[in-house]
Amino acid sequence: MAELRLRLSGIGGQGVVFAGRLLAQALFEEGKEIALRYAYGAEVMGTPVHSELVISDEPIICPYFHKADVAVVLHPRALDQALSALSPGGLLVGDSTVAVPRMLSRVEVRPFVARTSKGRPGDPGRLAPVAALGFLAKLGFFPLEPLLRAAQRGPAAQENLEALRLGFDL
């Protein structure tokens, strides 16, 4: 891997920031160079949120980017920003609730939110970004094993491990 610029986008409450941190920690422990940046609206819950990661085998000269190689969109409110940040020929991974433009050359759509919501009222798919990381591992962007090791820590370890495996199997 020379360098991967990844943008995870969704809304507050979905766990986009957590997923970015999980991936950064997992790959850092594997010896990768990582730059992580995230942003969210003042209200947080329900407003667009994104995590941006630069993942490299070499030292990262600039931790910021204007165009992502891969953009993951987990809520319709985050689509416009994600599309404007996707490089030409980049891969757009969208949740099935997002009206992803089919004119893009590289698109993958999966039911991340529906499969991780557990039917709780008001649940925006808190584990959807973690499942999306499992799916990206399946596509070969990074290995699954470091993610599984990093996800074993913390109070929600079992849920996170299940979400990673679910995404890998989608």
pLDDT of residue 119: 67
pLDDT of residue 129: 96
pLDDT of residue 154: 83
pLDDT of residue 105: 78
Residue 105 CA neighbour count, 13 Å, CB half: 6
pLDDT of residue 41: 65
Contacts 24+ apart (CB under 8 A), 120-126: 124/10, 124/11, 124/13, 124/14, 124/46, 124/75, 125/10, 125/14, 125/74, 125/95, 126/13, 126/14, 126/15
Q: Which fold has domain 3-169?
A: Pyruvate-ferredoxin Oxidoreductase; domain 3 (3.40.920)
- Tell which residue, 100, 96, 97, 64, has the closest CA to residue 82: 100
**Average pLDDT along the chain:** 90
pLDDT tens digit at each of 170 positions of the chain: 589 999 999 988 788 999 999 999 999 999 999 999 987 766 566 778 899 999 999 999 888 898 999 999 999 999 998 999 999 999 999 999 999 887 777 999 999 999 998 766 666 688 999 999 999 999 999 999 999 999 998 888 999 999 999 999 99
Inter-helix orientation angle 144-151/128-138, to 10°: 150
Domain extents in the chain? 3-169
C-alpha–C-alpha distance, residues 38 and 123, integer Å: 21
